[in-house]
Amino acid sequence: MRTVAHWLICSAALAFFAVSATAFCFVVVAAVAADRVWPGAPLGNCWTHVLPRWWRRGGYIAIRRADRVSLCKWLPVPHALHIESLPRKGVSLTQFVPVRRKQPRISPAVTGYYVGEVRTVESPHNATQE
């Protein structure tokens, strides 16, 4: 019974993943198109910065919780970083972050489109042991 339940849950997750992966492809195309319209724009978000770099240069997309930003104060917002390579020591990365951070009451408009800057450093956001 446990195997069947596990298979059903994984199969449902795979179906949602297929839909999400397809949507992600459209998001990548849109981000690359926006970058071609205005390369190096000072407006956008972490995803519009990371996706064109990942598409053109390869590397890795790292995702973590955004700092002090959530939808309706409880749903975490994913923040993306572009990692060019994974050397044995240290990581070379870029990320697009807001110049000023402000948490709105309900829907963080700052999550989708804001004035930001490119940074090549990251403060510690280590995972916790469960």
Given a cut of 70, whether residue 26 has pLDDT beyond it is: yes
pLDDT digits (tens, 9 = 90+) for 30-84: 999 999 999 989 999 999 999 999 999 988 899 999 887 888 878 888 999 998 8
Average pLDDT over residues 4-12: 90
Q: Give this prediction's pTM.
A: 0.72
pLDDT digits (tens, 9 = 90+) for 84-102: 887 767 778 888 888 876 6
* Cross-strand partners of 70: 76
pLDDT at 111: 58
Spell out the domain ranges in the chain: 2-119
Residue 13 Cα distances to 1, 39, 62, 78, 90, angstroms: 18, 36, 21, 19, 34
